[in-house]
Amino acid sequence: MSALPKSPSEIQARPLADVPTVKLLINGEFVESQSTVWRDIVNPATQEVLARVPFATPAEVDAAVAAGKEAFKTWRKTAIGARARIFLKYQQLIRENMAELAAILTAEQGKTLPDAEGDIFRGLEVVEHASAIGNLQLGELANNVAGGVDTYTLLQPLGVCAGITPFNFPAMIPLWMFPMAIATGNTFVLKPSEQDPMVTMRLVELALQAGIPPGVLNVVHGGEDVVNAICDHPDVKAVSFVGSTKVGTHVYNRATQAGKRAQCMMGAKNHAIVMPDANKEQTLNAIAGAAFGAAGQRCMALSVVVLVGEAQQWVPDLVAKAKTLKIGAGTEKGVDVGPLVSCAAYDRVNGLIERGVADGAMLELDGRQPRVPGFEKGNFVGPTVFSGVKPGMVIYDQEIFGPVLCLAAADNIDEAIELINRNVNGNGTAIFTQSGAAARRFQEDIDVGQVGINVPIPVPVPLFSFSGSRGSKLGDLGPYGKQVILFYTQTKTITQRWFDDSTVSHGVNTTISL
Ligand code: NAD
């Protein structure tokens, strides 16, 4: 069976008069782009065009960076408490506007309303963290490193920093970035995903309402050209990127080549190990939620499950669990699996399912072309399960980013760990077991950034940093948590001596001693 391809909505020459346009934010003003290249923002459940987004011109990128550079002169000296109070106000505004934000997010991205609230809430936690960042942005002091000499450090902001974000968390991921950069004293240029920038822009409006001064936060829209302009710009000091491995690798190379700091959180193929002693019902529920929630469009989705030993008998139970999920528009009550973000994503995922069959995997549950009454034009693919999946099959080797679960088998935990460590990605993983020894063995030997023990999607709270290993991350510092302080500041080390009559030395000292 092959699903009918959908015609992708494409780049437009200019905006149509009757459709709202997404604005740029430059120096505190929401401005209409002068671009001649625009893209539709489409509701993936209905194909309704919600708005159009510009691909900013080089002059607009320059203006955004220039505004950030100018604002940095005063923002870097703004008192820690004054910065903190803006983020305290901001978290309150996000809470007050949660329902509206979730509705915008669901309309343009597709995920269910409760999941959209989760997306916003996980970002809100980072805003709360930003309001307390002064507790972590502390230097060190050593007294009397030589006679009458003290040495201490200042963690000073860098200047204009930039963020480039993906479509799948249009609230959480922008909120991983600009609050952290700004709270530590930097100014920021954000480049949201061109597929769903509307909720990001509403969050940006609320940030200004909370008191972020003109020029401290700027937004440009676009794709490859705008991203390259950010990577090349001599006045941008650091770039934080979240998205696919291909683009993230390009961004890392280009930005670091231009002398910037860069951190790139990238693609994934997250495996879970199911041991035969796992709590069955809890494990089946956890896997179904993590494989098919958000239609599998999460960088932390569990897309491969390695069934160990007797757990290989659980395939029918997993399929039965997947069948219980309701497919539909994210706005409908009781829906578990919304549409894929775009027609292009729909075609790609359907093509990969076809490829899985051709490569010899067993299609246990086929989610193609589900019936969704009232939303016949939506980009829906239902939960799909393959068994007998092995390295070398395209559905194993590629990130599908859709509601497709690949089941693999292993005789024991050693074999399962070895399989995971051989995969090029190292974003997230989980083990389901009742054995402390097996869990500890897993945590010690697995080479993956985020590890869950009976927790399917272990995205760290902001007390810690998001990480990632091997092909899933470039750059060594994380986007929030303690590590982010070092990313967004540079350390200045000061060695000082003050003279009074008793310490004045006589004569020239030509040695290196203090
Ligand atoms: P993407 O790489 O296509 O896009 C990310 C950003 O890069 C967007 O802002 C986009 O405009 C820009 N971009 C796209 N093509 C470009 C090009 N050729 N040159 C320069 N910039 C370009 O990613 P996506 O499809 O929006 O998001 C899904 C991907 O993001 C998945 O691979 C997913 O695993 C990954 N992701 C990773 C994490 C993580 O923390 N590791 C989190 C969320 C998503």
Domain boundaries, the chain: 24-266+481-493, 271-453
Q: In 341-465, which ranges are E strands? A: 362-365, 384-387, 404-410, 425-426, 428-432, 450-453
Whether the pLDDT of residue 8 is over 50: the answer is no
Look at residue 169 in the predicted model and tell me its pLDDT.
98
One of 1.10.1740.10, 3.40.605.10, 3.90.660.10, 3.40.50.300 is the CATH number of 24-266+481-493, namely: 3.40.605.10
Q: Which residues of 129-159 are buried (b: 16+ CB within 10 A; e: fewer)?
A: bbbebeeebeeeeeeeeeeeeebeeebbbbb
168 pocket-lining for ligand 1 (C-beta < 6 Å): yes
Task: Give the residue, by CA position, lying nearest to ligand 1 atom 18.
Answer: 224
Q: Which H/E stretch holds residue 339?
A: none
In degrees and rounded to multiples of 5, residue 37 shows phi and psi of -115, 125
Q: Who has greater pLDDT, 1 or 280?
A: 280
Sheet with 24-26: strands ordered across: 29-31, 24-26, 217-219, 187-191, 160-164, 236-242, 261-265, 473-474
Calculate the average pLDDT of the chain: 96
Running DSSP on this structure, what letter comes out for residue 64?
H
Residue 110 near residue 296, CB atoms below 8 Å:
no
Under the phi-then-psi rule, with left for phi > 0, alpha for psi from -120 to 50, and beta for the rest, what region is 283? alpha
Give the ligand 1 atom nearest the CA of 473: 41
Q: Which atom of ligand 1 is nearest to the CA of 246?
A: 2
Q: At what angle do helices 198-209 and 80-96 cross, to 10 degrees?
A: 130
3-state SS, 358-369, equals HCCCEEEECCCC
Answer whether residue 492 shows pLDDT above 60. yes
303 pocket-lining for ligand 1 (C-beta < 6 Å): no
Per-residue model confidence as pLDDT tens digits over 20-30 = 999 999 999 99
pLDDT single digits (tens) 81-117:
999 999 999 999 999 999 999 999 999 999 999 999 9
Domain spanning 271-453: CATH superfamily: Aldehyde Dehydrogenase; Chain A, domain 2 (3.40.309.10)
DSSP label at residue 406 = E
CB 197 less than 6 A from any atom of ligand 1: no
> According to the model, what pLDDT value does residue 502 have?
73
- The residues assigned a catalytic role are 299
Which residues, 6 or more positions from 405, have their beta carbon under 8 angstroms from its beta carbon?
287, 291, 292, 302, 303, 304, 305, 318, 322, 383, 384, 385, 386
Distances (CA, A) of 67 to 29, 189, 191, 222, 259: 11, 9, 15, 18, 21
144 φ/ψ sector (left φ>0, alpha ψ -120 to 50, else beta): left
> Which ligand 1 atom sits nearest the alpha carbon of residue 466?
40
* Ligand 1 atom index nearest CA of 194: 11
Percent of the chain past pLDDT 90, that is, above it, reads 93
236 phi and psi angles, rounded to 5 deg: -95, 125
Beta strand extents in 217-361 (DSSP E only)? 217-219, 236-242, 261-265, 270-274, 302-308
Please name which of 172, 197, 219 lies closest in space to residue 42, comparing C-alpha atoms.
197
* CA 338 / ligand 1 centre spacing (Å): 20
In 3-state terms, what secondary structure has residue 11? strand
Cβ-count burial of 82 within 10 angstroms (0-12 exposed, 13-18 middle, 19+ buried)?
A: exposed
Q: Is the CB of 55 under 6 A from ligand 1?
A: no
- Helix, strand, coil in percent for the chain, rounding step 5: 40, 20, 40
pLDDT tops 80 at residue 501: no
Q: Are 303 and 296 in contact (CB under 8 A)?
A: yes
166 lines ligand 1 (CB under 6 A): yes
169 CA from centroid of ligand 1 (Å): 11
The pLDDT assigned to 500 comes to: 82
Of 37, 175, 193, the residue with max ligand 1 atoms within 8 A of its CB, to mutate for a pocket test, comes to 193
Kindly give the number of the ligand 1 atom that is closest to the alpha carbon of 166. 26
**Rounded mean pLDDT, 214-224:** 98
Q: How far is CA 76 from the centre of its chain?
A: 26
- Residue 5's pLDDT band, with cuts at 50, 70 and 90, is low
| Whole-number Å distance between alpha carbons of 479 and 403 | 27
Averaged pLDDT, 368-386: 98
Going by pLDDT thresholds of 50, 70 and 90, the confidence category of residue 146 is very high
Is 340 a pocket residue for ligand 1 (Cβ < 6 Å)?
no
pLDDT tens figures, 432-488: 999 999 999 999 999 999 999 999 999 999 999 999 999 999 999 999 999 999 999
Testing ligand 1's pocket by substitution, the residue of 55, 266, 400 carrying the most ligand atoms inside 8 A of its CB is 266
- Contact present, 304 and 294 (Cβ < 8 Å): no
Model confidence at 227: pLDDT above 80: yes
DSSP-assigned letters across all residues of 294-313: GGG--TT-EEEEEEEGGGGG
Distance 150 CA to ligand 1 centre (A): 46
- CB of 119 sitting under 6 A from ligand 1: no
- Looking at residue 199, what is its pLDDT? 98
* For residue 200, pLDDT beyond 80: yes
Query: For 325, which DSSP code?
Result: P
Q: Classify the complex by whether its ipTM is higher than 0.90, answering yes or no.
A: yes
Asked if the domains at 24-266+481-493 and 271-453 fall in one CATH topology, the answer is no
79: Cβ contacts below 8 Å, ≥ 6 apart: none
- The continuous run of DSSP H or E covering 400 comes out as none
Write down the pLDDT at residue 87.
98
The number of angstroms, rounded, from the C-alpha of 312 to the middle of its chain's C-alpha atoms is 33
Q: What is the distance in A from the centroid of ligand 1 to the CA of 244?
A: 4
Q: Is the CB of 401 under 6 A from ligand 1?
A: yes
Q: With 60 as the cut, is the pLDDT of residue 4 above it?
A: no
What pLDDT does residue 18 have? 83
Distance CA 30, CA 18 (A): 19
Angle between helices 80-96 and 113-131 (to 10 degrees): 160
Under 8 Å between Cβ of 159 and 66:
no
Q: Are 127 and 91 in contact (CB under 8 A)?
A: yes
CB count within 10 Å of CB 59 equals 9
CA of 414 from ligand 1 middle (Å) equals: 33
Radius of gyration, alpha carbons of the chain: 25
Ligand 1 contact via 347 beta carbon (within 6 Å): no
Q: What pLDDT is stored for residue 12 in this prediction?
A: 59
472 lines ligand 1 (CB under 6 A): yes
Tokens of 360: 């010899």
State residue 513's pLDDT score.
84
Taking a C-beta distance cutoff of 8 angstroms, is the pair 345, 381 a contact?
A: no
85 C-alpha vs ligand 1 centroid, how far in Å? 32
